[in-house]
Amino acid sequence: DNSVPKPPTPSPLRNSKFFQSNMRILVTGGAGFIGSHLVDRLMANEKNEVIVADNYFTGSKDNLKKWIGHPRFELIRHDVTEPLLVEVDQIYHLACPASPIFYKYNAVKTIKTNVIGTLNMLGLAKRVGARILLTSTSEVYGDPLVHPQTEEYWGNVNPIGVRSCYDEGKRVAETLMFDYHRQHGIEIRIARIFNTYGPRMNIDDGRVVSNFIAQALRRDEALTVQAPGTQTRSFCYVSDMVDGLIRLMEGDNTGPINIGNPGCEFTMMELAETVKELINPDVKIKNVENTPDDPRQRKPDITKAKELLGWEPKVSLREGLPLMEEDFRQRLGVPKKN
Ligand code: NAD
Ligand code: UDP
Ligand code: UDP
């Protein structure tokens, strides 16, 4: 489209011999679950310098401890609802609580993070000419009336519900991304992430996989299947997710592109049975009440990711759960039975 204005060129200093790296990358929310795995992958490339900006609401320095003090790494305590001045080439914008109990805890703060936080990161991208990737969510499809969900589907979202700070917040964040792209020529990438799991998830963040694994490992707890138990999610292992995010950033497509694992669609009852079988055959399963606006089914159509990014997930739930179990055992101090 010829009408899209050119973004500003990066500072000439970026090419100077005083810069040791070829690429300086900002990761907002980099102390969180997905963010810290992304940082590990980016740091593995010696040409990258990584700056993390995080307010530690749901993330922790512990997730990044192996990088603290590394010459190519910098960690800033920063809230993205405030302006940020740094010089970078790429921005992975992840900052936002992802688990319902955390994003509902301070709903106003969640929507500020999504709207003002994304606006600030776009202002930053505009000033320095950086490419910016937003981690949006399958929640933009709401309680979907189309299954599986393609990127063309506009969604079925309640604008005034208890989840709206998150799903409507992400929808506005996507709108802002496209408006900055059309109006200012910013290079944008939008990933719509479907349920992701793996090591370093918060143990008590209330998400289903972390809940079930912690419940299976602690004594005297039952797996809490929320009613009706027939609702589905498709679970993507975190290494596959990070791979998809990097391919999206490096590729030529703005998105939005679904990233998730359609091969791992499970009902919550099936997930409970699988966790029971793999982790603790003695654990009980109990039915509990659900929360409002819970989507009944969710599964990505990943045709676009396959065609445009050459990406597809590799890790099945049966392979991924034991990797997460090991991490949870260590953090909960529960030794493996022989
Ligand atoms: P997480 O809660 O582990 O990580 C989010 C990080 O952002 C944390 O480190 C937190 O401290 C930080 N943060 C929150 N508000 C901030 C603020 N105002 N300023 C600075 N930092 C702030 O969650 P995650 O699972 O790693 O999710 C990362 C991103 O992926 C989020 O944008 C989330 O919406 C998106 N996403 C995740 C999933 C999933 O299944 N995990 C699904 C869809 C979308
Ligand atoms: N911004 C930022 N870092 C920058 C440049 C801008 O955080 O390096 C913020 C800025 O404070 C503003 C937002 O990004 O609130 C949007 O910036 P833009 O330049 O698009 O809008 P304006 O400042 O003109 O309102
Ligand atoms: N869920 C459950 N037991 C739990 C936590 C969640 O059955 O202990 C269900 C919840 O009702 C929802 C699904 O698991 O249908 C996924 O919930 P989660 O909070 O992990 O993610 P999201 O709703 O954002 O997809």
The pLDDT of residue 4 is above 80: no
Segment 142-156 shows an average pLDDT of 94
CA of 17 to the centre of ligand 1 (A): 35
Where residue 293 falls among pLDDT bands split at 50, 70, 90?
A: confident
What is the widest separation between alpha-carbon atoms in the chain?
Answer: 65
Pairing between β-strand 265-267 and β-strand 223-226 as defined by DSSP bridges: unpaired
User: What pLDDT score was predicted for residue 292?
Assistant: 81
Number of neighbouring beta carbons within 10 Å of residue 111:
21
Greater confidence, 147 or 126? Answer: 126
Tokens of 324: 């997460």
Write the pLDDT tens digit of every residue in 164-207.
999 999 999 999 999 999 999 999 999 999 999 999 999 988 99
User: What pLDDT score was predicted for residue 17?
Assistant: 54
Write the pLDDT tens digit of every residue in 86-131.
999 999 999 999 999 999 999 999 999 999 999 999 999 999 999 9
The pLDDT of residue 20 is above 70: no
Number of neighbouring beta carbons within 10 Å of residue 262:
18
User: What pLDDT score was predicted for residue 39?
Assistant: 98
Where residue 238 falls among pLDDT bands split at 50, 70, 90?
A: very high
Catalytic choice (166, 180, 197, 237):
166
CA of 68 to the centre of ligand 2 (A): 29
ipTM over 0.85: yes
- For ligand 1, which residues put their CB under 6 angstroms from it? 28-29, 31-35, 54-59, 79-81, 94-98, 113, 117, 135, 137, 193, 195-196
User: What pLDDT score was predicted for residue 134?
Assistant: 98
Cα 224 to Cα 36: distance, rounded to the nearest angstrom: 28
287-311 burial, b at 16+ Cβ within 10 Å, e below that, comes to beeeeebebebbbbbbebbeeebeb
Cα 31 to Cα 55: distance, rounded to the nearest angstrom: 9
**195, 213, 220: which is closest to 325 by C-alpha?**
213
Segment 140-163 shows an average pLDDT of 94
Q: Nearest C-alpha to atom 6 of ligand 3 is from which residue?
A: 208
CA of 95 to the centre of ligand 1 (A): 5
The pLDDT of residue 291 is above 90: no
Mutating to test ligand 1, I would choose from 26, 27, 34, 258 the residue with most ligand atoms within 8 A of its C-beta, which is 34
Cα 111 to Cα 121: distance, rounded to the nearest angstrom: 15
Cα 134 to Cα 132: distance, rounded to the nearest angstrom: 7
Average pLDDT in the chain: 94
Cα 60 to Cα 39: distance, rounded to the nearest angstrom: 13
187-223 burial, b at 16+ Cβ within 10 Å, e below that, comes to bbbbbbbbbbbbbbbbeebebbbbbbbbbbbeeebeb
User: What pLDDT score was predicted for residue 5?
Assistant: 75
Q: Kindly list the distances between the CA atom of residue 44 and the CA atoms of 75, 118, 140, 243, 333, in Å, as whole numbers in the listed order.
A: 17, 27, 32, 13, 29
Where residue 287 falls among pLDDT bands split at 50, 70, 90?
A: very high
Q: Counting beta carbons within 10 angstroms of the beta carbon of residue 231, is it exposed (0 to 12), middle (13 to 18) or buried (19 or more)?
A: buried
Cα 160 to Cα 108: distance, rounded to the nearest angstrom: 12
- For ligand 2, which residues put their CB under 6 angstroms from it? 83-85, 119-120, 123-124, 126-127
The pLDDT of residue 2 is above 80: no
What stretches of 93-218 show up as alpha helix (H) in DSSP? 100-105, 107-112, 118-128, 164-184, 208-217
Cα 149 to Cα 140: distance, rounded to the nearest angstrom: 10
Write the pLDDT tens digit of every residue in 54-80.
999 999 999 999 999 999 999 999 999
Q: Kindly state if the Cβ of 294 falls inside 6 Å of ligand 3.
A: yes
The pLDDT of residue 19 is above 60: no
User: What pLDDT score was predicted for residue 96?
Assistant: 98
Q: Could you tell me how far CA 47 lies from the centroid of its own chain?
A: 24
Tokens of 288: 């509990």
CA of 121 to the centre of ligand 2 (A): 8
Whole-structure pTM value: 0.94
Q: Kindly state if the Cβ of 208 falls inside 6 Å of ligand 3.
A: yes
User: What pLDDT score was predicted for residue 250?
Assistant: 96
The pLDDT of residue 16 is above 80: no
Tokens of 41: 């992958």
Identify the nearest ligand to the CA of 85 by its number: 2
Write the pLDDT tens digit of every residue in 319-337.
999 999 999 999 999 998 6
**196, 211, 199: which is closest to 323 by C-alpha?**
199
* Known catalytic membership, residue 197: no
Write the pLDDT tens digit of every residue in 45-54.
999 999 999 9
**266 φ, ψ (degrees, to nearest 5):** -130, 150
